[in-house]
Amino acid sequence: MDTSIKTALKKARRKQLLKIIITSIIVVLILISILYKTGNYFAAKSSTRLHDSLFLHNAIAEPNIQIDSQVTANSSMFGGNIITNRSKNINGYVVPWSTLTSSYHWLRADIDNNELVPGFYWSDTDFYEYDKQTKNKVATFYHPSIQEYFDGTPNELSKVSQMENYVAEVAISFDQPYTLQEIQAKIPDNLNIVWLYMTSQIADESKGPAGLPVYGFAPSSSPKDAYTDFINDLKKFDDSGKMETIQEFLNLNKNKKWDEVGILGVMLTGQTQNFKALENQSFVRGASVGATAQIVPYIKPEK
Partners of 267 in the beta sheet? 171, 195
pLDDT of residue 200: 94
Supply the pTM of this predicted model. 0.87
Share of the chain above pLDDT 90, in %: 68
What average pLDDT does this structure show over 117-125?
88
161-217 pLDDT per residue, tens: 999 999 999 999 999 999 999 999 999 999 999 999 999 998 888 787 777 899 999
pLDDT of residue 127: 87
Residue 271 near residue 166, CB atoms below 8 Å: yes
Residue 218 near residue 89, CB atoms below 8 Å: no
DSSP-derived secondary structure letter, 280:
T
Alpha-carbon gap, residue 17 to 279, rounded angstroms: 90
58-108 pLDDT per residue, tens: 999 999 999 999 999 887 777 889 999 999 999 999 999 999 999 998 888
Q: How do the residues of the chain divide into helix, strand and coil, expressed in percent and rounded to 5?
A: 35, 30, 30
Strands of 154-262 (E only): list them. Answer: 166-178, 192-200, 214-217
The yes-or-no verdict on residue 31 having pLDDT over 90 is no
132-163 pLDDT per residue, tens: 999 999 999 999 998 888 888 899 999 999 99
Q: What CA–CA distances, in Å, run from 296 to 93, 167, 190, 210, 300?
A: 10, 10, 19, 37, 8
